[in-house]
Amino acid sequence: MQVFADPITVNCRKVLAGLDFLGAPFERVHVDYFKGEHKDPSYTALNPNASVPALRDGDFELWESNAILQYAADKMGRDDAYPRDLQRRADINRWLLWESSSWFPSCYVFLVENCVKPLLGAEPDPAVLDAQAAQFHKLAGILDARLARSEWICGDRPTIADIALAAPMHLHVHQKLPLADHPNLKRWMTGNIEKMPSWDKTWVGPGFTLDRSGQAS
Ligand SMILES: N[C@@H](CCC(=O)N[C@@H](CS)C(=O)NCC(=O)O)C(=O)O
């Protein structure tokens, strides 16, 4: 499999960490997000959305990060990470759809205001952050309630739902996501997700860097 991705982005980190977690072998083809390579016709022929990531497996091409996780889990026969049981799978599918339609857009506001804008020399807009706060807390509260019931999103072991839901908050400290009122969510992110080897291998730092040399150990 080939994964076309820039590892600094939310949905690429999701797929790169997810495929590693699933033990799916792949070759990464770099698509430089900040250089706009995802808009190049040579790439949009593969993903007409002009967004990353995308996957090629022989003649088969696929975009949508969560569909890529589902495909890779099934291809690798990882029934623990994406169970075939009707209701457990429906539960995971629900979180994948919710992540894409609700969670990612809300977390993305914090990413843009508190990470992207400062990188580009602009100031975060407090009005934009204030306007998003109620929606963020509603969604985070849903996750927090779920994580009050179980160690991971879908029980006592990680699934592709965990990887998908973690990705939009991957820079949560620098995004300044207000997690203080959501202790179970914070516990899951810092105590579970960030301890996963697949997550650590796909580390991204403030300023969207992959270079850890400047970081405290
Ligand atoms: N729903 C898509 C979203 C993909 C997406 O929006 N990717 C971002 C990077 S995380 C992107 O490439 N955006 C295009 C742009 O900013 O021009 C997925 O999950 O794959």
DSSP secondary structure letters along 85-117: SHHHHHHHHHHHHHIIIIIHHHHHHHHIIIIIH
Same domain, 114 and 65: no
pLDDT above 60 (res 168): yes
Residue 40, Cβ neighbours under 10 Å: how many?
A: 13
- 164 Cβ closer than 6 Å to some ligand 1 atom: no
- At residue 88, the pLDDT reads 98
Output the CA 74–ligand 1 centroid distance in Å: 23
| Residues 68 and 99 placed together within one structural domain of the fold | no
> Is position 66 within any domain?
yes
3-state secondary structure of 215: coil
CATH number of 45's domain: 3.40.30.10
> What residue has token string 């990531």?
53
Domain count, the chain: 2
Two tokens, residue 164:
């998908």
How confident is the model over 77-107, as pLDDT tens digits?
999 999 999 999 999 999 999 999 999 999 9
Protein residue closest via CA to atom 2 of ligand 1: 64
Residue 214 has pLDDT above 80, yes or no: no
198 burial via Cβ count (<10 Å: 0-12, 13-18, 19+):
middle
Q: Model confidence over 120-142: pLDDT tens digits?
A: 999 999 999 999 999 999 999 99
The pLDDT tens digits of the residues spanning 17-32 come to: 999 999 999 999 999 9
> Average of pLDDT values for 111-123?
96
